[in-house]
Amino acid sequence: MHIQSAGLTDVGLRREHNEDAFIIDDTLGLFVVADGMGGHAAGEMASALCVKGVHTYLSLLFDGQDLQHSSSTSIQDSRLQTPAVLLAQSIQVTSREIFEIAQSNHELAGMGTTVVACLYKHGCLAVAHVGDSRVYLCRGDEIVQLTDDHSLMNEQIKLGFSLEDQQRFLQYKNVITRSVGYDPMVVVDCHTVIPEPGDLFILCSDGISNLIKAEEMVYACTQVPLQEVPQTLINLGNFRGGDDNMTVVAFKFMES
């Protein structure tokens, strides 16, 4: 199988700056979306550092180059790890780097970012995330959310709070409970999917998922060519108010 992909980010209609970032590397098999937070330009910097850091770490690893002066033996050992482990490591290393940058500049204190990332190697797709950006799998006419939001609202749902209790937390629905760069260490949720020909994966920031239901995503995605999927979803998000930055990365597995 080979991969076709497309990505787009948009500031939306109500924000002055775009604090989202994304990267696509079809050759490496890497797809990343980050949604930053923090005062001044900190959120924008955090998301940019995140996507660049993850990409750089994995690029150097798979190119066989030296990572922070590691020995060639340790590089070889690292490359024997599963894609899921490597992807999680890349996010953890990047989180520490972002935290250290924030510590060195008081104007950047407290900056952080969500991240969703997919890495395709050896017939397996590793899916990793921190925060409330999401990954969806569209297979045929069905769609499945592959990530579980690290948000205050979602925590209440998982704890079994009643609908009435949940309503009281609606004002906190965008409060995340885990982010990259806010602390030197971060727990990364990661698992593996075996893709099939025709599978379409969507990575998006919450500016999209807050306004567009999963069922609407799969309908929109089956009506347009892959290259138009990001713009189609962003257009719908802006039509519904565009109250946040919006980023979409879509990639599809095609028969070779």
pLDDT range class, residue 38, cuts 50, 70, 90: confident
Question: In this structure, how many other beta carbons lie within 10 angstroms of the beta carbon of residue 95?
Answer: 29
Question: What range defines the domain where residue 49 resides?
Answer: 2-254
Q: What's the pLDDT score for residue 90?
A: 97
What are 72-98's pLDDT values in tens digits?
Answer: 444 445 555 889 999 999 999 999 999
Rg for the chain (alpha carbons), in Å?
18
**Ramachandran angles phi, psi of 72, nearest 5°:** -60, -30
Answer whether 124's CB lies under 8 Å from 150's CB: no
Cα distances (Å, whole numbers) of residue 73 to 70, 143, 147? 8, 42, 34
* 37-18-100 Cα angle (round to 5): 40
Question: In this structure, how many other beta carbons lie within 10 angstroms of the beta carbon of residue 55?
Answer: 19
97, amino acid identity? E
pLDDT range class, residue 165, cuts 50, 70, 90: low
The number of folded domains in the chain is: 1
- Residue with the bigger pLDDT between 223 and 237: it is 237
Burial of 46 (C-beta count, 10 Å sphere; 0-12/13-18/19+): buried
137, amino acid identity? L
131 vs 148: CA distance, rounded Å = 9
Q: What's the pLDDT score for residue 62?
A: 86
* pTM (whole model) above 0.85: yes
What are 54-69's pLDDT values in tens digits?
Answer: 999 999 998 755 444 4
Residue 238 sits in a domain whose CATH number is 3.60.40.10
Query: Measuring CA to CA, which residue among 18, 9, 15, 41 is closest to residue 208?
Result: 9
97 vs 101: CA distance, rounded Å = 6
Q: What's the pLDDT score for residue 80?
A: 59
